[in-house]
A and B are shown apart, each in its own frame.
Chain A
Amino acid sequence: MSQHLLTLTATQALEKLRSKEISATELTQASLARLEARKGLNAALTITAESALAQAQAADAAIAKGETAGKPLLGLPVGVKDLFCTQGIRTTAASKMLENFVPAYESTVTAKLWAAGAVNVAKLNMDEYAMGGSGENSAFGPTKNPWDEARVPGGSSSGSAAAVADYQCFAATGSDTGGSIRQPAAFTGTVGIKPTYGRCSRWGMVAFASSLDQAGVFGRTVADAALMLHTIAGHDPKDSTSAPLEVPNWPQTLGQLNIKGLRIGLPKEYFIEGLNPEIRTAVLGAAKAFEAQGAEIVEISLPSTPYAVAAYYIVAPAEAASNLARYDGMRYGLRVEGKNLVETYTNSRTAGFGDEVKRRIMVGNYALSSGYYDAYYTKAMQARTLIANEFAAAFEKVDVLFCPTAPSLPFKIGAKANDPVSLYLEDAFTIPASMAGLPGISVPCAMGAEEGTALPIGLQILGPRWGEEKILQVAHAWEHLRGAFTIPFKS
């Protein structure tokens, strides 16, 4: 019974809720039970059973009274990456530093979810402060990939991807700075979309790299992702970098694509040596399927692509070093006393931050320091401009770009733990769009295999600024061309 409920898509579940075929309480109980039963995946850091059931009861009451207007997610159990501050519910950013931090305020993104009637079932695991591409950098242990628990689910939104793929919740929020939604979506066979920078408010989202951080969502279908994204998007006067733009009705326009004449670009810099051949074949196959339906395939060159990772690992750590300066043990968070002020700072930060966070703080401060600023930060920002300009030129010629989300299949936990640079390169295909602030979606493309284990491959579709509508439509169309893609329901 409960398995049946949890394998519904969000769209189906919402229909059944509105028709009173099922209740929000019933659905939430199923979700909470699954979260408890599947704790071994380490997808959730905090299961918010009590408040979730209260939200579910309120949803049931609203449905009973017919008060469903303006509440598109009424009664739907969702998970929240643990860097969205939730009022009265601890928010850790998967760091020892914030292990006991309970915000007195609600992030704009989550506030919009609750206003839309969604039920918060869990705060989800992640790489500490969103720094990582495997989920292994969590202070509270790595998240496991439901397809193969020996493997990583990708990161940094590891818990969001795993929880949605494992049917623990119907959808989840994530954040994407250099690929933190798209890459774990690819690794778990889920749909993950990062909208244009500025589409969602960052207010109340624990900052990693402010000029790159963007909230987004995970779902098991494009329609579910569109529904979630539509709920959380929009201008927020409390975030100066959020765009004062109307949010198009993506759920409604999802099916309105005319494939005939659609121009799909294949950027050659993404189909390089070192790309897993199965992934290459799968992504090119997706393009061919569209071509067969009348789409035009155009080879595109984005020559600055190889510099994106290097530039990103200057800009993001620089901003992170400054953003994380506030965690000094003075006002909140972990405090480890020392003999004097400097020692207290040092002790608190030494104990509070994990290795990867410390590594990036050091890189960032180095890049910003006097005498190095121009050589590193200024150069990286110039590279960023080049990357953005090349994308803009490409989107003069094509409507969307098709490329792999990640160069490899989900790897084994621990395989890259001692080689940060090889882990950084896992983000080579997601970072360029982040640097340009563009929207991107990863949608299950096909299945690959490694050591006899079937593992999902992600197709990444990139669009121009504010072009979420098109990439959602194309991703939705791909679901039809591809055919059913079912994640096994494990127990």
Chain B
Amino acid sequence: MIELAGFSSVLVQFATFAGIFALLALGLNLQWGMGGLFNIGIAGFFAVGAYASAILTGAANPSHLGGFAMPFILGALAAMSVSGLIALAIGLITLRLRADYLAIATIGIAEILRLFLKNEAWLTNGVRGIAGIAKPHAAFLGPGWATLVFFAIVLVSVLLVYLGLERARRSPWGRVLRAVRENEETAAASGKNTVRFRLEAFVLGSMIMGYGGALYAHFFGFISPEAFEPELTTFLVWIMLIAGGSGNNRGAILGAVAIWLVWSGTEVLTNRLPPELVTQAGAIRLLLIGALLQVILLLRPEGLLKERPPPAPLPPKGVPPAPLPPKGVPPKGVPPKGVPPRGEARPPRGPAPPPSSRA
């Protein structure tokens, strides 16, 4: 595919990576932006997803488990299931506790997953990693078209996850989730099982991250326990969400693209460094992007796009009304004039959900 070479192929590669990061940022937005759940083990779920899909779709290999040769879609489903199950186990233990305990537990799980992937060579080939992970239908399509088709898969995935999360955000479920984040006692007092809502958000967000991992594995073609640079991946996704605007799904996507642009841009910069500094390029880039995060936190903590709480839905004609209408208001039709819309009439807020008052 000579016509693909050069600029357009760089562009497709950039956009595919940005799309994968957008998925991760969307997953984190569900957990942190909407649910107020502090996950700094993103790389763990990402890696698990990548390995699950790589092992299930790969050809037989004497040095590690493999040979299932399943289609990509099954690999992706497995990636989501495994990361979801791990999130379920972690969530069941820590979601009842304070926000910072969850954060520490997610560091722990990411670290243990890294150790597991490194030590269990029969399964993962250990530190040597798994190479030659093919894109879906790569043999049939040829390398050029496979890249393009893969880019389309990523785009469609981002779109579907975005639409799904937007729907969830506006749904009663999303509104309860935000209520739990804002004030858990009040939500509990209105009869909501708050732990369950948090658990659902945590598991669902982690499944999206696992799917992102599967996409990464197939796009990059090689994975190893260290190739992810676990803290770097986690950190980048956090900056993307904070910069884009936590709580805002469009913000998550915008942040992912913008920060991926900045991050790739710093690589262009560090490539011009004198040769004795080139080996340190990674550290310089990390310092720059870290400084960017601190500046955003200090100057514009709400990010590029603020969170906009959806208005309470007005029941459309012929559809069952919104839950719990106030007494005296007829269950169908538009509320009488002069009555302000119920619920959620709240000024926009900053990025960070306030600390939960659980203690």
Binding partners A and B: no
